[in-house]
Structure 1
Amino acid sequence: MPNTQYDALIIGSGQAGNPLATALADAGQRVVLVEENLLGGSCINYGCTPVKAMLASAERAHQLRTAADYGMQAQEPAVDMAAVVARKDEIVQAMRNGVRSNLTQERPGITVLHGHATFVGPRTVEVLLAGGKTQQLTARKVFINTGTRAAVPDIEGLQEVPFLTTTQLLDLKELPEHLVILGGGYIGLEFSQLYRRLGSRVTIVESHRQLLEREDDDACIGLTRVLEAEGVEVVLGAKVRKVSHKEGTYTLTAQTAAGERRIRGTHLVVATGRRPNTDTLGLGAAGVQTDEKGYIQVNARLETNVRGVYALGDVHGGPQFTHISYDDFRVVRDNLLRGKRRSAKQRPLPYCVFTEPQLGRIGLNEDQAKEQGVSYRVATMPVRTIGRAREIGRTEGFWKVLIGDDDRLLGATVLCAEGGEIMSMFQLMMAGRLKYQQIQDMVLAHPCWAEGLNNVFTQLKRP
């Protein structure tokens, strides 16, 4: 078995590993990247890109269905699910090709291998290549970027039925008649609205008392009302005890506050969380430590307990967002290549749920501020008061801001059309440490969504 030595070995072609490979190669290092599945990681292949592409199709269907609200004749869209999936696949393939070109054609210092990597020593791995051969690789530094996969809850009968993961659902070329979604988190909500707007009957089954249990009650209730108004059935506080499948029908037996309930549908997708892809890496041979869930333990520089071995992206736990994975790359790049001391701790955490309206979040919400004992004032503004919202007929939701005793923004929750973009304006306000009075009196173009910044702070009060 040949042993090949490199300066850097990257396991996994995700949103942290790919840019790190190019940065290291540009710095003159010999880099090898090993990918077991598809180049591009979860974001490109079965996360952000495909889901948002299909959400765009669902939005067009919704516009046809609601055209009468804008003075035009409404019609029920004739959805060609195979064409929806084909459009998604074309976008994904183009981005995947871009990753391959960037790694293999534009950077001669990078070697890409397709296969499964297993540690046989602290900085040595054995790669089972796609053709069945094996190759041993040794590097001065190793970077693990293997991501996560769908977690399957321990429910009687679930492993015996042909349920779908969210990845498999994205490739389904026939529209489900009745889609049951097990899990009411961010992923489950986006899929619920997507398939409801395309024409499926949709039921969300969530074990907690509300959707998005980490959000304030007003955000959870507001988004639940939006989904229910579009025809999504939401079953809360439902502890599923058993799943069965017979003659094309799934049956979920759940315990609810009202007693036992049976929920039936033609398709079942499990969206109850993720688990790290670490169990087949042979981390024990490298001495790399994980927590009880299998996530790799790292310090502020993303280095594991083994010197020279790093973990980037979802595989080390914490918030699982593409932009956080990409920032992991920047942390490692700056520490190793630019002589800067940069930490992965205490960084901003912006995120957005891409329902319509979107839910954008930055900084503290009220629950978090109370838990941390942070003094704050709060103001909530209904979206319907914004001129832009009334003009284009997108009046659902609210903006909520938390202001500290120093008159600076502690956090914002934005349930609104273009909520992610608006949230980013609040993030810039926080990054610049601007006081709310500076934004309140700023001249902003009319009639833009941003005008709401002039008004949202007017009703500040103690909770």
Structure 2
Amino acid sequence: MADIDVDVLVIGWGKGGKTLAGAVGKQGRTVALVEQSASMYGGSCINVACVPTKDLVHSAARRRAEDDPQAWFTDAVAGRDALTEKLRARNHAMLADVETITLIDGRAEFTGPHDVEVTAGTDRLSIHAQSIVVNIGTVPAAPMFDVESARVFDSTTIQHIDPLPERLVIVGGGYVGLEFAAMFASFGSRVTLLDHGGTFLKNEDRDVVDAVRSLLEESGVQIILGADVRSVRDSVDSAVVEAAIGDETRELTADAVLVAVGRRPVTDDLNLGAAGVEVDERGFIVVDDGLRTAAEHIFAVGDVNGGPQFTYISLDDNRIVMDQLSGAGRRSTADRVAVPYTVFLTPPLARVGMNEAEARTSGQNVVVAAKAVADIAAMPRPKIVGETHGLIKVLIDADTDLVLGATVFSIDAQEVINLIALAMRQGVTASELRDSIWTHPSSTEALNEVLAAAQPLTG
């Protein structure tokens, strides 16, 4: 006999899981939500990922040249911690106040298709559930090179580094590495970014890449491509990074090294086999387009299912599963169209839909509208706030006048890209965006001028 028998068991406090638990509980069904760490109530986003890192990005961007780097960083981290503590408490209260929801601290392990044992120290609790949702997320991937240093950090631990490193080496040129490179450079660190690839930001258009690279280098970030890191070891007062760069082996010294080489699922200890749940070669849980696993009553939502690793995707995962549990069961991942993303540099870089390379091979008659932010006369907001870096670029199907994709590298990019994505989903034409009435001064009104400059895609 189970110690607890519930309608729905949710393992992990991620965005999708916690939202689903609240919705199911408010319907009057019984729910158990298991989380192994009290410091992760609310999920990764509010505790170690989206919210705290963007809070630090904002604090870094506000630092003036005359502000002491260490003091500013210390205050920024304190502000970050106060924010996450507040959000964590609020998230816990939102579910704790629902009578049908039981919150449980401990580590979950499947013992059968419908059964999970939760361990907390010497305590054991058995849970039987009709439906189970796995929402345990991912953690930073470990480096593939030798590490013999106490000065190596990941994207979570470096948020509390002390003191602020005067010299920081970042291994990994992906979007996480870029955000931390820009952030720590703004805090006052000398940053060197090592990218294993030979092409910087390979998924972005070259004009966008040039603009991003120029911004980073202007802020003091040194970017080294084709760097194959072999090891990190400690010397007397620093870390030494050994890397093969081209035909030579170089040693770089740093006060700290951030390894940002992706994320991995934390599925190893769940004993998924006991439930008949399959994982892929990387450990991500295999799901269908309704987010059902090989065991049809078990779902996987959020990063752990191998989909795009964004909080808003986890939220949409929740909608899909809720439709399976309480609706018509028609909603699926195939419904997702024009999903945007943003890299929180200063200013942010956001994109949705096709890039230029994809547009060229699409077989469509494409026109492109692009302008540097500093040259957009109808968009004074960047000049008002003193941030004129970047560009705005929109790709359009000349035959249908529909937007195929867009890149917004500008202040307020994270907002403007949402508008363009909505236009793509709803079939709003480029001409309608161009001729619409937008508030002034705003960043949206750049669309009036940029889209008026559309030209055939050549070259």
Structure 1-normalised TM-score?
A: 0.93
Please, which of 150, 170, 180 is the counterpart of residue 181 of structure 1?
170
Of residues 131-140 and 87-96 in structure 1, the stretch that sits farther from structure 2 once superposed is 131-140
**Match for residue 462 of structure 1?**
457
For 1:252 and 1:371, the matched residues in 2 are separated by: 40
**Match for residue 89 of structure 2?**
97
**Match for residue 13 of structure 1?**
13
**Structure 1 residues 242-299: Cα deviation after superposition (integer angstroms, max 9, x where no partner):** 2222213112221223522222211011111000011111011111111100011111
**Match for residue 138 of structure 1?**
128
For 1:327 and 1:353, the matched residues in 2 are separated by: 20
Q: Quick check: 1:193–1:232 contact (8 Å CA) kept in 2? A: yes
Aligned residue for 2:201, secondary structure, equals coil
Q: Quick check: 2:185–2:219 contact (8 Å CA) kept in 1? A: yes
**Structure 1 residues 108-150: Cα deviation after superposition (integer angstroms, max 9, x where no partner):** 1110111100111112111102x42111111000000000011
What displacement does 1:372 show? Answer: 4.8
**Aligned positions of 1:66-145 closer than 5 A:** 75-77=66-68, 79-80=70-71, 81-105=73-97, 107-129=98-120, 131-145=121-135
Of residues 96-105 and 364-373 in structure 1, the stretch that sits farther from structure 2 once superposed is 364-373
Aligned residue for 1:166, secondary structure, equals coil
Identity of aligned residues (%): 38
**Structure 1 residues 375-404: Cα deviation after superposition (integer angstroms, max 9, x where no partner):** 422221111122413343322111111112
For 2:211 and 2:135, the matched residues in 1 are separated by: 36
**Match for residue 68 of structure 1?**
none
**Match for residue 149 of structure 1?**
139
Aligned residue for 1:280, secondary structure, equals helix
**Match for residue 436 of structure 2?**
442
**Match for residue 70 of structure 1?**
none
For 2:422 and 2:137, the matched residues in 1 are separated by: 29
Aligned residue for 2:440, secondary structure, equals coil
**Match for residue 52 of structure 2?**
50
Verify: 1:421 aligned to 2:410, yes or no: no
Please, which of 394, 405, 408 is the counterpart of residue 402 of structure 2?
408
For 2:362 and 2:130, the matched residues in 1 are separated by: 42
- Per the alignment, do residues 271 and 23 of structure 1 end up closer, same or farther by CA in structure 2, a change over 3 Å counting? same
**Match for residue 165 of structure 1?**
154
Q: Which runs of 5+ in 1 are unaligned?
A: 66-74
**Aligned positions of 1:231-242 closer than 5 A:** 231-242=220-231
Q: Quick check: 1:85–1:172 contact (8 Å CA) kept in 2? A: no
What displacement does 1:159 show? Answer: 5.9
Aligned amino acid, residue 332 of structure 2: S
For 1:160 and 1:123, the matched residues in 2 are separated by: 44
Aligned amino acid, residue 455 of structure 2: L
Please, which of 329, 344, 349 is the counterpart of residue 359 of structure 1?
349
Verify: 1:221 aligned to 2:210, yes or no: yes
For 2:312 and 2:10, the matched residues in 1 are separated by: 19
Q: Quick check: 2:2–2:128 contact (8 Å CA) kept in 1? A: no
For 2:212 and 2:322, the matched residues in 1 are separated by: 38
Aligned residue for 1:299, secondary structure, equals coil
Aligned amino acid, residue 412 of structure 1: A
- Per the alignment, do residues 392 and 50 of structure 1 end up closer, same or farther by CA in structure 2, a change over 3 Å counting? closer
Please, which of 353, 375, 391 is the counterpart of residue 398 of structure 1?
391
Q: Quick check: 2:149–2:239 contact (8 Å CA) kept in 1? A: no
What displacement does 1:371 show? Answer: 5.1
**Match for residue 35 of structure 2?**
35
Aligned residue for 2:393, secondary structure, equals strand
For 1:289 and 1:356, the matched residues in 2 are separated by: 41
**Structure 1 residues 73-97: Cα deviation after superposition (integer angstroms, max 9, x where no partner):** xx34454233221111000000000
Aligned residue for 1:362, secondary structure, equals strand
Of residues 376-385 and 87-96 in structure 1, the stretch that sits farther from structure 2 once superposed is 376-385
Of residues 393-402 and 369-378 in structure 1, the stretch that sits farther from structure 2 once superposed is 369-378
Verify: 1:271 aligned to 2:264, yes or no: no
- Per the alignment, do residues 253 and 43 of structure 1 end up closer, same or farther by CA in structure 2, a change over 3 Å counting? same
**Match for residue 430 of structure 1?**
424
What displacement does 1:369 show? Answer: 3.0
Matched residue count: 449
Aligned amino acid, residue 83 of structure 2: I
For 1:91 and 1:368, the matched residues in 2 are separated by: 40
Aligned residue for 1:16, secondary structure, equals helix
- Per the alignment, do residues 316 and 53 of structure 1 end up closer, same or farther by CA in structure 2, a change over 3 Å counting? same
Q: Quick check: 1:210–1:220 contact (8 Å CA) kept in 2? A: no
For 2:85 and 2:388, the matched residues in 1 are separated by: 36
Q: Quick check: 2:370–2:394 contact (8 Å CA) kept in 1? A: yes
Q: CA RMSD in A?
A: 1.7
Q: Quick check: 1:85–1:173 contact (8 Å CA) kept in 2? A: no
Q: Which runs of 5+ in 2 are unaligned?
A: none
**Aligned positions of 1:340-379 closer than 5 A:** 340-347=329-336, 348-370=338-360, 372-379=362-369
Of residues 173-182 and 114-123 in structure 1, the stretch that sits farther from structure 2 once superposed is 173-182
For 2:245 and 2:335, the matched residues in 1 are separated by: 39
What displacement does 1:453 show? Answer: 0.8
What displacement does 1:440 show? Answer: 1.5
What displacement does 1:203 show? Answer: 1.0
Of residues 397-406 and 379-388 in structure 1, the stretch that sits farther from structure 2 once superposed is 379-388
Aligned residue for 2:334, secondary structure, equals coil
What displacement does 1:15 show? Answer: 0.5
For 2:201 and 2:90, the matched residues in 1 are separated by: 34
**Match for residue 59 of structure 1?**
61
- Per the alignment, do residues 375 and 139 of structure 1 end up closer, same or farther by CA in structure 2, a change over 3 Å counting? farther
Aligned amino acid, residue 387 of structure 2: R
What displacement does 1:310 show? Answer: 0.3
Aligned amino acid, residue 20 of structure 1: L
For 1:282 and 1:370, the matched residues in 2 are separated by: 46
**Structure 1 residues 327-363: Cα deviation after superposition (integer angstroms, max 9, x where no partner):** 1111111232232511112513211011011101111
For 2:147 and 2:335, the matched residues in 1 are separated by: 39
